[in-house]
Amino acid sequence: MSVCTKQQPIFEKRQAGVILHPTSLPGPNGQGELGPEAYHFVDFLNDCGLSVWQVLPMNPTHEDRSPYMNLSVFAGNTDFISLTLLAEWGWLPANEALTDAGKRQKLVIARQQFLQQASTNDKTALQQFINQHQYWLADYALFQAIKNTQGNKSWVDWPVVLRDREAGAIRAATHQLQDAIEQINFEQFVFFKQWLDLKQYANDHNVKMVGDMPIFVAHDSAEVWKHRKYFDLNADGSPRTIAGVPPDYFSATGQRWGNPLYLWERMKEAGYQWWIERCRVGFALYDAIRIDHFRGFESFWEIDAKEKTAENGHWVKGPGATLFKALLQSQPPLSSHQQQLAFIAEDLGIITEEVNALRQEFGWPGMKILQFAFDGDATNAYLPHNAEQNSVMYTGTHDNDTTLSWYEQLPEHEKKQVMAYLADTSEAMPWALIRSALASVSNWALFPMQDLLSLGQGHRMNTPGVTADNWRWRFQWDQVVPGIPSKIKSMTKLYGR
C-alpha cells in the first residue's frame, strides 16, 4: 500500500472549543466524573456555539494525580466512573450511588449485581470488550492486581520472579488473582462504555472530543513492566536513561521528567505494533488526538538517569517519519481519518526546521499559544499575524496560568504592548485574548475553561516543575456569569466558527 504523506490540512473547518479535564467538572464527589455533569457540559458547549472539547490524558494516574504519568497508557482512569449512571443502568443499587466514598467497594458491588442481573447482551458486550482489548488489558489487569498485593510498590520493587515476569510466577499470580483480574476487566469495560456513550452524545450535538497522548510512558506502568525490551532499562528494570527537556521558559535547570526512553530500533523491528495498538485505542476514544511533545519524535532529550536535573542531557534522533508511515499503513485502518490521522502536534519548546518539516510532511496542525506571543518583536511565531490556517490557536494551555492572572502579572510596558497589538483597550482580559484567538486565521481556536470564566490567580491547573497542588482545579456552575453562552456564541458566529 503506497502512502501519500503530503496532505491537505485536517482541520479545515473553522471551529472553537474549550480545554477542560473531566476531573474539573462540578459535582458532589471528590473529582469530576463521566455522569450527568459531563453531559451538562456538552449542552453548555452547544449553547456557546463551541464544537470542540479537549481533555487531558484519561488514563489511571499515580498518587500525584498527574495525567501525564500513567499506570497505563491504554487503560482508562476508573475514578471517572459515574456511580449514578451505574445505578441508572441497573448495575448498582440506587442507594449505593449517592457519593463516591468507598468507590472501589461500590464497583465490586456493581460487578456482583452485573453478574447476577445484567442482560445476556450486556454480558456478551463485556466479553467482547475483553477479547477486543486483549493486547493490553490482560497485562494491565494482572499488573494492577499484583500491585494491590504488593502495597502499591513500583514493579521494580516486587519479588524478582514477578518483577522479571518469570513464566511460572506469572501463571501462579494469574490463577491466584483471577477474581481481582476480572474485577479490573469489568471496571475498564465500564469506563470505556461511559466514555464512548459521552463521546456519542457530544458528537450527536456537534462537539468533537479531542484527547491527549503523552509521547512517553511512566516507568511504573504496565507497559514498561510487560515490554521491557522496548525501553532503555538496566538489568534490574531501573531506567538507564530518562526523558526531559533542556532549560526553557518554565525552568532554568530544564525539566527532568523521569520517563524511560524508548529503544526505537527494537520498536521498528517489531513493525511499531505497540504504537499501532496504542493509537488504535486512542482513535476509538477520540475524534482527534493532541500528541504531547511531538518534537520528541524527531529528536528527544536524553538524560542519564543518575543526573539530578535535565541540564546535562543531549539530543538523540527519534523515529521520524517511519513511525507515522507505519501508523498510516496499518490494517485495519486506525480510524476514519486513515489517510491523514487526526493529530494535533504539540510543537512547543525548542523547535527546529526538522521538527517543522516532520509535522508539515503529514499535514498536522501545530499549536500557537497567545500567552507566548508578546515577549519579543513582530516576528514572534505565536503572534496571530504569523499564524497559518493549519494550526490551533490557544490563549493558554493546562501548563499556563490563567490568561487573566498572566496578564495581571505582566510588567506595565508589556501590558501596553499587549493592548497596543490587540488594538482595543476597552475589552477586559481575558476576553481581549479570547477574541484574538477567535479572530485569528488558525482553523481551530481553543481556550481553557478558566479563561471562559474570567478566573484569575489561584485557578491554574498545573505548574510545570512543581509537584504540589496540581491537577486539582474544579469549577462550579455558579461561576458561569449569565450571558456567557450568548456572548461566546455571537463571537463564534462573528468570526466564522
Predicted confidence (pLDDT) at residue 96 exceeds the cutoff of 90? no
Which residues are part of the catalytic machinery? Answer: 292, 346, 399
SS (H, E, C) 427-450: CCCCHHHHHHHHHCCCCEEEEEHH
pLDDT value for 11: 79
Distances (CA, A) of 402 to 118, 344, 380, 414, 447: 45, 22, 21, 17, 10
Q: How many secondary structure helices (H) and strands (E) does the chain include?
A: 18, 12
pLDDT value for 101: 76
What cell was used for 482?
449569565
| Residue 335 pLDDT level (bands cut at 50, 70, 90) | confident
Q: CATH number of the domain at 15-241+262-293+314-334+365-494, out of 2.60.120.560, 3.30.460.10, 3.40.605.10, 3.20.20.80?
A: 3.20.20.80
In the chain, where the domains are located: 15-241+262-293+314-334+365-494
| Residue 10 pLDDT level (bands cut at 50, 70, 90) | low
| Residue 3 pLDDT level (bands cut at 50, 70, 90) | very low
Pairing of strands 366-369, 391-394: parallel
Q: pLDDT tens digits, residue range 373-393?
A: 998 899 999 999 999 999 999
Q: What is the pTM of this model?
A: 0.95
- Residue 346 CA to residue 402 CA, distance in Å, equals 19
What cell was used for 383?
503572534
The residue among 96 and 418 whose pLDDT is bigger is 418
Q: pLDDT tens digits, residue range 144-163?
A: 999 999 999 999 999 999 99
CB hemisphere CA count around 257 (13 angstroms): 24
Q: pLDDT tens digits, residue range 223-273?
A: 999 999 999 999 999 999 999 999 877 788 998 999 999 999 999 999 999
- Residue 74 CA to residue 223 CA, distance in Å, equals 9
What cell was used for 41?
457540559
Query: CA-CA-CA-CA torsion for 470, 472, 476, 479, nearest 10 degrees?
Result: -10
- Residue 383 CA to residue 48 CA, distance in Å, equals 26
Q: How many residues does the chain have?
A: 497
CA angle 224, 169, 260 (to 5 degrees): 10
pLDDT value for 98: 77
- Residue 81 CA to residue 23 CA, distance in Å, equals 11
Q: Where are the beta strands (DSSP E) in 207-337?
A: 208-214, 241-245, 255-260, 288-292, 299-304, 314-317
pLDDT value for 337: 64
